Copies of this chain bind each other. A is one copy, B any other.
């Protein structure tokens, strides 16, 4: 039986991600950042802070994972915790100046690395790919929002 097209897409995306992630780890390591720390930093900016819950929702990881990553970023002075004035239960993760500088630098380094690694498509192909991937992502996000991940029969 032929492999379903959706599954072929899935495998390709999976393989590509693994290849990219492997490179990311090496590159970000030169900035003394883990990929997780970078992912959190990327969601912050200098203007206003962001709730930890918002971060874990966006990154689809456990609350406690964010707590610990923010701990690390606070230890290295890249981020500060601030009480949310609108809700005394909540904490905001805020970029420090040092964090903003680090983020800019890491982003430039990472972006250059990614660009050099993903250079084998023509401009037209890249545009097409971005369009198709965007549609795919939006579909997946919509499913997540509608909480419609189907429970299969299981094994």
Contacts and interface: CB of A to CB of B under 8 A. Distances in A.
B132 A22 contact: no
A135 interface: yes
Contacts of A114: 6-7, 10
A19 B140 contact: yes
Given A119-B139, A120-B139, A155 B13 contact: no
A126 interface: yes
- Copies of this chain assembled into the complex: 2
Interface stretch (A44-52, A68-76, A85-93, A146-154): A146-154
Contact of A130 (B9, B112, B121): B9
A13 B152 contact: no
Interface of A: 4-10, 12-20, 22-23, 26-27, 30-32, 59-60, 102, 105-106, 109, 111-121, 123, 125-130, 132-144, 149-155
